Amino acid sequence: MAKTVVLYNPLSGNCTAQTVERMFSDAIRYDVTQISDYAALLNDLTEEDALILCGGDGTLNRFANEIYEMDVKCDILYLPVGTGNDFAFDVIGSKCSEAPIPVKQYLKSLPTVTVNGTSYRFLNGVGFGIDGYCCEVGDELRKKSDKSINYAMIAIKGLLFHYKPTNAKITVDGTEYCYKKVWLAPAMFGRFYGGGMMPTPGQTRDSDTVSTLVFYGSGKLKTLMIFPSIFSGKHVAHKNAVAVLTGREISVEFDSPRALQIDGETILGVTSYKAVAPQRAE
């Protein structure tokens, strides 16, 4: 008999556990924070079975990294119940879904990012700059309160008062570019990150490249004036403050350490990263 297995993250969003109880009461359910051996769990599933993952972008990222080298025979579906849900926004055009969406095809060819000698797969993007700073501050606020985090307000306060831009050296397929006063330098595989920001509007998941946005050179007030247009992709019109670079391999090096985020998961004290596009099958 075919079975349905639900993996859920009770820490995602505000209602993951309640959603699982309400929608999948007849399924076999596992808390992802308690799973230590994905291979053992997935080896028992056949082509007739279905696995449903409930969580946010970070949950989906960790799952993708755990199973990437495995031959998973069952269908893999995803119910977005996180805070930002950028993957869902990119794939189905909505941050929420009434039913789980098929995602197995999106987990097969993913780019890598190497940080401090460790490599990770990523689905949406790698944030470096004030976006990493926002995740860092958000993580600290989450430890102190269960209230929802306003990342837009964190970004505005950071731009005006707390965050200091860096100088950056960016290498794209062997060609070096240098920028001063860099506010953002993410690497993107999907179109969206950070709860709906669209830093590199031309980037698509079926391409064999990754893209980086360089937001640079401007003072606080001008940067703050341009910044909201990143949600529509219109920021790229500001050629004297914004550059988009695309290639197979992109390295970003800051002249002082900053927080970095991978699909919303924060790494502190980073000075550089390297993103490499997926190798497509011929």
Residue 255 sits in a domain of what CATH number? 2.60.200.40
Q: Are residues 103 and 122 in the same domain?
A: no
Q: For the residues 5-30, what does the mean pLDDT come to?
A: 81
d(CA 15, CA 231): 26
Q: Are residues 97 and 193 in the same domain?
A: no
What's the domain range around 116? 112-276
Q: Are residues 100 and 125 in the same domain?
A: no
CA 73 to chain centre: 26
**∠ CA 243-152-235 to the nearest 5 degrees?**
25
Q: Are residues 88 and 151 in the same domain?
A: no
Q: Are residues 246 and 173 in the same domain?
A: yes
Q: For the residues 44-50, what does the mean pLDDT come to?
A: 93
The predicted structure's pLDDT at residue 278: 94
Residue 281 inside a domain? The answer is no
Please check the confidence at residue 14 and state whether its pLDDT lies above 90.
Answer: no
What CATH number does residue 63 fall under?
A: 3.40.50.10330
The predicted structure's pLDDT at residue 229: 95
Task: Return the percentage of the chain with pLDDT > 70, whole number.
Answer: 96
Q: Are residues 103 and 136 in the same domain?
A: no
d(CA 237, CA 142): 35
Q: Which residue has the higher pLDDT, 257 or 12?
A: 257
Q: For the residues 54-68, what does the mean pLDDT come to?
A: 95
Q: Which of 62, 89, 107 is the last residue of a domain?
A: 107
Q: Are residues 95 and 123 in the same domain?
A: no
Residue 150 inside a domain? The answer is yes
Please check the confidence at residue 282 and state whether its pLDDT lies above 70.
Answer: no
Q: For the residues 73-99, what does the mean pLDDT come to?
A: 92
Confidence of residue 74 (pLDDT cuts 50, 70, 90): very high
Q: Which residue has the higher pLDDT, 281 or 93?
A: 93
Q: Are residues 48 and 19 in the same domain?
A: yes
Interval 121-165: pLDDT, tens: 999 999 999 999 999 998 898 888 877 778 878 888 998 899 999
Q: Are residues 167 and 218 in the same domain?
A: yes
Please check the confidence at residue 86 and state whether its pLDDT lies above 80.
Answer: yes
Q: Which of 51, 76, 107 is the last residue of a domain?
A: 107
Q: What is the count of structural domains for the chain?
A: 2
Interval 221-259: pLDDT, tens: 999 999 999 999 999 999 999 999 999 999 999 999 999
Please check the confidence at residue 172 and state whether its pLDDT lies above 70.
Answer: yes
Q: Are residues 144 and 200 in the same domain?
A: yes
d(CA 135, CA 149): 10
Q: Average pLDDT, whole number, for the chain?
A: 92
Q: Which residue has the higher pLDDT, 44 or 172?
A: 172
Q: Are residues 55 and 137 in the same domain?
A: no
The predicted structure's pLDDT at residue 150: 80
Burial class of residue 244 (count of CB atoms within 10 Å of its CB; 0-12, 13-18, 19+): middle
Interval 178-226: pLDDT, tens: 999 999 999 999 999 988 999 999 999 999 999 999 999 989 999 999 9
Q: Are residues 87 and 125 in the same domain?
A: no
Please check the confidence at residue 280 and state whether its pLDDT lies above 70.
Answer: no
What is the identity of the amino acid at 153?
Answer: M
Q: CB neighbours of 203 closer than 8 A, spacing ≥ 6?
A: 188, 189, 190, 191, 209, 210, 211, 246
Q: Which of 77, 107, 137 is the last residue of a domain?
A: 107
Task: Return the percentage of the chain with pLDDT > 90, whole number.
Answer: 77
Residue 282 inside a domain? The answer is no
Residue 244 inside a domain? The answer is yes
Residue 58 inside a domain? The answer is yes
Q: Is 26 helix (H, G, I), strand (E, B) or coil?
A: coil
The predicted structure's pLDDT at residue 281: 58
Please check the confidence at residue 17 and state whether its pLDDT lies above 80.
Answer: no
